[in-house]
Amino acid sequence: MLATTQQVRNIVHTVCNVGAHSYTDKSTRGDNVRNVTFLLHEENKAAALAIVQLAMFTRGYTNNVKITRSKYDSMARQGGSTYLRINNCILEK
């Protein structure tokens, strides 16, 4: 069973130190499927990933959870951030 975008936001904000906002990307799997991404502020990225995966699993959700990083641009002094990404969430309007 796939979690909705609102369920994912509630779970992640409960168990992780993430930024106040999240954003969604349209998935290639369908019109009502989205990928939800959070800016991650945890020191131990692997532990945060494991906690979110466990929280999703115990609730019976099968969404793919992963960590992504943006490339740091030293000339512009930006980037290098770490993101928590949950794929294939059902869009809840």
Per residue in 47-85, pLDDT (tens digit) is: 999 999 999 999 999 999 999 988 887 887 777 788 999
> Residue 22: what pLDDT?
86
Listed by start position, the domains of the chain span 5-90
pLDDT interval class at 41 (50, 70, 90): confident
DSSP for 19-53 reads EEEEEEEE-TT-TTEEEEEEEE--S-HHHHHHHHH
Q: Output 93 or 69, whichever has higher pLDDT.
A: 69
> Residue 50: what pLDDT?
94
Q: What is the CATH number of domain 5-90?
A: 3.10.28
> Residue 21: what pLDDT?
78
pLDDT interval class at 42 (50, 70, 90): confident
> Residue 54: what pLDDT?
95
- Give residue for tokens 């000339």: 75
Give residues with Cβ within 8 angstroms of 65, minimum separation 6.
Answer: 49, 52, 53, 56, 84, 85, 86, 87
